[in-house]
Homo-oligomer: A and B are copies of this chain.
Amino acid sequence: MHDHNEDYMLRDIEEEQLLDLADLFKMFADSTRIRILYDLFEGEKNVTEICEDIEMNQSAVSHQLRALKTAKLVKSKRDGKAIIYSLADDHVKTIIAMGKEHIEEE
């Protein structure tokens, strides 16, 4: 199925990385998800709180939280009935900060 010379392998790895990169940036490419991430800048929150903050219904938020979790941008833990979400690491803030810099310039 694949060639196995080094050039090709290299291209092949990069190809996979390009797709992963695109998938990562897709997470930031939707205003609902950015709203959720922004909301979590304030600290950890359960789903109900997030829904209230960003004024979206529970199902839509849960669907997007799952996407963000799959992308490892948020993590979650259970607390009684509630599930508490928080940012998974600092990359989220850094990436959004870079984006803001670009749009604020000029």
Interface on A for B, CB 8 Å cutoff?
Answer: 17-22, 24-26, 28-31, 34-35, 38, 72, 89, 91, 94-96, 98-103, 105-106
Contacts and interface: CB of A to CB of B under 8 A. Distances in A.
Is chain A's binding surface mostly helix, strand, loop or mixed?
helix
B34 A100 contact: no
Contacts of A28: 21-22, 25, 28-29
A29 B29 contact: yes
A11 to B, nearest CB: 11
A52 to B, nearest CB: 14
Contacts of A19: 31
Contact of A18 (B20, B21, B34): B34
A24 B91 contact: no
Which 10 A-B residue pairs are closest in the complex by CB-CB distance? Answer: A25-B28, A29-B29, A26-B29, A91-B102, A25-B29, A22-B31, A20-B103, A95-B98, A18-B31, A21-B99
